[in-house]
Amino acid sequence: MLTDQSFKKYFRRRNRRSFAVAEGSKKKQLIAKRKNQIIRAAIREFSNRGFHETEMDNIARTAGVSKGTLYNYFENKSDLFLSTIDWGLSRLIGKVYKSLEGINDPVLKLEKALEVYLDYLRKNKSLFKILYRYKDMFRENMKTKFGKRHSAHFYLLEDILNDGIEKGIFRRFNAKSASLSIAGGIMHSLMQGELELKNKKSVAEQTKQFKELVFYGIMKRDGTETNKQKKGRKN
């Protein structure tokens, strides 16, 4: 039988559960915020000093936390280093996938993906320096959980290229090798400063030239590109 007392007990229990959920959610947010704070500091330190020269003390000082706090979130320097790369690549891959929503044309998809890659790496120079400096190490660990994350953007490019090949838009070639070449071309171009220009108009022009170079190598030469695709490439 339901009584006023039973209702009061029910609402007290419900309020306690709601409070616990709210507190748990708040705690998770604080943990995520502190972890991101440490990761951003680690990216700066690893970029400036390199992995071997960077000490946990350097990262703690830059992050504005105690050295002991670092070990509340990461097991050691190696764990923190890999976490910084995983964090940066997750953001990059997420941005690329989001930018491709609603786009079915492989030409337009590849164009948009290249634009996002170039823009993200240009804006995140410290992360880019780490990726470029340790690219060989990442490739050697492709079978690990971290390596799979690092190779996800290669798979994305490969899928786009295969889609274009199957639809008869791109000429036939090894999409896997081509995706590695394109990603390597992006890294090399940025490292050489060819796309690191302060003038936004010049940056846009250099980005356009890079895209044209990629498409020159993959497009069919028999005039089968549709008017829609040509129009999309001009925009």
104: domain CATH number? 1.10.357.10
Q: Number of folded domains in the chain?
A: 2
Could you tell me if 64 and 93 lie in one domain?
no
pTM for this model (two decimals) = 0.74
Low-confidence stretches of the chain (pLDDT < 70) are: 1-24, 137-150, 192-203, 221-235
Do residues 83 and 74 make contact, with C-beta atoms less than 8 angstroms apart? yes
Do residues 101 and 160 make contact, with C-beta atoms less than 8 angstroms apart? no
Encoding tokens for residue 120?
């993200």
Give me the DSSP letters along 55-116: -HHHHHHHHTS-HHHHHHH-SSHHHHHHHHHHHHHHHHHHHHHHHTTT---HHHHHHHHHHH
Final residue of a structural domain among 74, 105, 123: 74
Could you tell me if 140 and 198 lie in one domain?
yes
Query: Contacts for 203-209 with beta carbons within 8 Å, 24 or more apart?
Result: 203/122, 207/114, 207/115, 207/118
pLDDT for res 2: 43
Final residue of a structural domain among 74, 108, 126: 74
Q: How far apart are the C-alpha atoms of 202 and 106, rounded to whole Å?
A: 26
Could you tell me if 217 and 145 lie in one domain?
yes
Separation of CA 82 from chain center: 14
Could you tell me if 69 and 81 lie in one domain?
no
- How far are the Cα atoms of 53, 79, 189 from residue 48, in angstroms, in the given order? 9, 18, 20
Could you tell me if 126 and 107 lie in one domain?
yes
For residue 8, give the amino acid letter: K
Could you tell me if 103 and 69 lie in one domain?
no
Q: Which residues share a beta bridge with 126?
A: none
CA nearest to 55, candidates 88, 81, 85, 89: 81
Q: How far apart are the C-alpha atoms of 46 and 130, rounded to whole Å?
A: 7
Could you tell me if 126 and 61 lie in one domain?
no
Could you tell me if 82 and 23 lie in one domain?
no
Collapse the DSSP code of 173 into the 3-class scheme (helix H, G, I; strand E, B; otherwise coil) and give the result. Answer: coil
Could you tell me if 184 and 149 lie in one domain?
yes
pLDDT for res 232: 47
Domain enclosing residue 233, as ranges: 77-235
CA dihedral angle for residue 166, residue 172, residue 175, residue 179, rounded to 10 degrees? -110
Could you tell me if 127 and 162 lie in one domain?
yes
Could you tell me if 24 and 69 lie in one domain?
yes
Q: Which residues share a beta bridge with 219?
A: 170
48: left (phi over 0), alpha (psi -120 to 50) or beta: alpha
Could you tell me if 19 and 81 lie in one domain?
no
Q: How far apart are the C-alpha atoms of 46 and 44, rounded to whole Å?
A: 6
pLDDT for res 180: 85
Encoding tokens for residue 76?
């050691």
Read off the CATH number of the domain in which 6 is found: 1.10.10.60
CA nearest to 156, candidates 203, 100, 201: 100
Final residue of a structural domain among 74, 102, 125: 74
- How far are the Cα atoms of 114, 129, 226 from residue 187, in angstroms, in the given order? 12, 9, 30
pLDDT 10s digits, 185-219: 888 777 766 555 555 556 677 778 888 888 888 88
pLDDT 10s digits, 151-160: 777 788 999 9
